[in-house]
């Protein structure tokens, strides 16, 4: 079986421990051994054909994991544009986005909604079959909303062209959820609250009823499928807890009761605030008609300030908070994903270590693969990136793709290391540890 040895690297294993000089041996699609260097250089145990990659002191760490991915958001300047794109072009846009995630070092992603029922599913299946490059993907269907809710954007006198599925009442909800489950989605998405940019449904409004949300979750549980929710309002956050929705997007207006519930259920709930949407919409969208003054009038400055305060309190209470910025709009296009990591440090006051753990270790948990993804440990899947520099010293390093020296997913290189980083394997006895290396156990 093919082996790859990363040597002369600083191992950031994302267990919470400090980075250390070491070597990591990959066998097939798994991490076989991790060795901590102690003084002199030497070979880690190996057998068979070994490819040796000399990292030159670069940082080897798990691939990043995006908690809020929209492959089918197509860098447009309006919600209408997402819905109107023909399906043929839309598939191509999704393929481009999938590749872009990998190019940016994101080896896994949680689909936070697709613009058409089968887009995520088709892309996920093509990635898994090796037909196109892309991260591990939890495929979602379109957001499910109610009449007048977030995403119900087309005028009543025109045929529907929205990017959401509109239902009214528990029975319509059951039928829609069943239809999406039939297509093989990994998640369903409910739009419980509104969004300022839609005008018809404000962020602090809760549009979906308990009966509708409850019906959706009954059907999802019947098939063992999880749910996520667009939940900005305090009441919508509480609805998530009541109905067992464990992935909560935004959570901007959490009141004291919502905070208490999140803390009580912190071992089951994930919060991905998507701060980058709030920040860029507030301050970086002038070229598309959303000046800071207009954004302030719409309420985005207030929501950003309120969200920052609330997320800091959630962090203090031990709630799992993950990056994922809602990328795919004109003012926050695909390929800029790592800016949300910077938001965690600059806006939320996370340490660089806590930010990286949120995007790796917690990412493995939200992907429902906590024992296989998000850490450098024996037995874990070989999704790793080699970073030129120390991300603990500078979280913005991930924003420069040229600093990603190598990207490996499932034991195969998506981005090959430079030939200069490779050298012949030293001659050592097979399966005999070098005396200068100490194995790191799981």
Instruction: State pLDDT tens for residues 109-145.
Output: 999 999 999 999 999 999 999 999 999 999 999 999 8
Rounded to whole angstroms, how far apart are CA atoms 278 and 259?
A: 20
Backbone angles phi, psi at 183, to 5 degrees: -80, -10
Q: What fold is seen in the domain 3-62+374-440?
A: Urease, subunit C; domain 1 (2.30.40)
Which residue carries 């250390």 as its tokens? 20
Rounded to whole angstroms, how far apart are CA atoms 247 and 18?
A: 29
Task: Answer for the pair 323, 358: CB distance below 8 angstroms, yes or no.
Answer: yes
Which residue carries 């090796």 as its tokens? 130
- What pTM was computed for the model? 0.91
> Average pLDDT of 7-29?
97
* Sheet with 106-111, side-by-side order of all strands: 64-69, 106-111, 136-138
* Cβ-Cβ contacts under 8 Å for 168 (sequence gap 6 or more): 146, 147, 212
Which residue carries 């066998």 as its tokens? 27
Rounded to whole angstroms, how far apart are CA atoms 267 and 319?
A: 8
Q: What fold is seen in the domain 64-366?
A: TIM Barrel (3.20.20)
Instruction: Evaluate if residue 48 carries a pLDDT over 80.
Output: no
Per-residue model confidence (pLDDT) at position 49: 81
Rounded to whole angstroms, how far apart are CA atoms 340 and 249?
A: 14
Assign residue 300 a region (left: φ > 0; alpha: ψ between -120 and 50; beta: otherwise): alpha
Per-residue model confidence (pLDDT) at position 165: 83
DSSP 441: P
Task: Answer for the pair 12, 376: CB distance below 8 angstroms, yes or no.
Answer: yes
Per-residue model confidence (pLDDT) at position 150: 62
> Average pLDDT of 373-397?
98
* Cβ-Cβ contacts under 8 Å for 325 (sequence gap 6 or more): 68, 274, 275, 276, 277, 332, 337, 339, 340, 343
Task: Answer for the pair 111, 127: CB distance below 8 angstroms, yes or no.
Answer: no
Rounded to whole angstroms, how far apart are CA atoms 286 and 294?
A: 9
- Name the residue among 124, 107, 104 with its Cα closest to residue 400: 104
Instruction: Evaluate if residue 423 carries a pLDDT over 80.
Output: no
Instruction: Evaluate if residue 360 carries a pLDDT over 60.
Output: yes
Beta bridge partners of 26: 4, 31
| Confidence class for position 419, pLDDT limits 50, 70, 90 | low
Q: Is 147 helix (H, G, I), strand (E, B) or coil?
A: coil
Q: Percentage of the chain with pLDDT > 90?
A: 81
The answer to which of 164-178, 272-286, 428-442 has the lowest mean pLDDT is 428-442
| Confidence class for position 424, pLDDT limits 50, 70, 90 | very low
User: Each residue of 302-314: b (16+ CB within 10 Å) or e?
Assistant: bbbebbbebbeeb
Per-residue model confidence (pLDDT) at position 79: 76
Domain ranges of the chain: 3-62+374-440, 64-366
Mean pLDDT, the chain, rounded, equals 90
In what helix (H) or strand (E) does residue 23 lie, and over which residues does it extend?
strand 20-27
Instruction: Evaluate if residue 430 carries a pLDDT over 50.
Output: no
- Give CA torsion, residues 439, 440, 441, 442, to 10 deg: -150
Task: Answer for the pair 104, 124: CB distance below 8 angstroms, yes or no.
Answer: no
Both structure tokens of 122: 């088709």
136-138 and 140-146 strand pairing: unpaired
Q: What are the E-state strand segments in 196-274?
A: 226-231, 247-250, 270-272
Which residue carries 């299946």 as its tokens? 125
* Cβ-Cβ contacts under 8 Å for 240 (sequence gap 6 or more): 192, 229, 231, 246, 248, 269
Q: Which residue has the higher pLDDT, 59 or 420?
A: 59
* Cβ-Cβ contacts under 8 Å for 156 (sequence gap 6 or more): none
């Amino acid at each position: 079986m093919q082996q790859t040895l990363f040597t002369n690297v600083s191992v950031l294993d994302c267990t919470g421990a400090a980075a250390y000089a070491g070597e990591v041996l990959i066998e097939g699609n798994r991490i076989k051994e991790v060795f901590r260097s102690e003084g002199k250089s030497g070979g880690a145990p190996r057998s068979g054909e070994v490819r040796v990659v000399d990292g030159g002191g670069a940082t080897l760490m798990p691939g990043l994991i995006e908690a809020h991915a929209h492959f089918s958001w197509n860098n447009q300047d309006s919600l209408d544009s997402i819905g109107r794109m023909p399906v043929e072009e839309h598939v191509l846009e999704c393929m481009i986005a999938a590749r872009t995630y990998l190019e940016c070092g994101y080896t896994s992603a949680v689909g936070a909604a697709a613009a058409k029922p089968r887009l995520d599913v088709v892309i996920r299946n093509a990635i898994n079959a090796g037909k196109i490059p892309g991260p591990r993907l939890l495929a979602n269907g379109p957001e499910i909303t109610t009449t007048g809710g977030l995403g119900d954007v087309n005028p009543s006198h025109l045929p529907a062209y929205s990017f959401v599925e509109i239902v009214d009442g528990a029975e319509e909800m059951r039928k829609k959820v069943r239809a999406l489950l039939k297509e093989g989605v990994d998640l369903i998405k409910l739009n419980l609250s509104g969004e300022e940019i839609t005008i018809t449904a404000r962020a602090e409004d809760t549009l979906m009823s308990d009966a509708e949300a409850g019906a959706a979750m009954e059907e999802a549980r019947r098939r063992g499928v999880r749910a996520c929710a667009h939940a900005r309002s305090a009441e919508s956050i509480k609805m998530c807890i009541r109905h067992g929705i464990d992935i909560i997007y935004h959570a901007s207006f959490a009141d004291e009761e919502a905070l208490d519930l999140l803390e009580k259920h912190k071992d089951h709930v994930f919060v991905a605030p998507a701060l980058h949407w709030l920040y860029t919409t507030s301050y970086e969208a002038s070229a598309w008609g959303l000046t800071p003054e207009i954004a302030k009038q719409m309420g985005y400055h207030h929501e950003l300030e309120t969200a920052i305060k609330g997320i800091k309190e959630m962090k203090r209470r031990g709630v799992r908070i993950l990056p994922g910025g809602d990328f795919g709009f004109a003012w926050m296009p695909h390929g800029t994903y790592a800016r949300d990591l910077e938001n965690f440090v600059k806006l939320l006051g996370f340490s660089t270590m806590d930010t990286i753990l949120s995007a790796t270790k917690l990412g493995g948990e939200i992907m429902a693969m906590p024992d296989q993804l998000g850490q450098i440990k024996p037995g874990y899947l070989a999704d790793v990136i080699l970073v030129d520099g120390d991300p603990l010293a500078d979280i913005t390093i991930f924003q420069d793709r040229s600093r990603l020296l190598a990207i490996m997913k499932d034991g195969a290189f998506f981005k090959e290391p430079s030939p200069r980083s490779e050298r012949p394997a030293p001659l050592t006895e097979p399966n005999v540890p070098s005396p200068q290396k100490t194995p790191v156990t799981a």
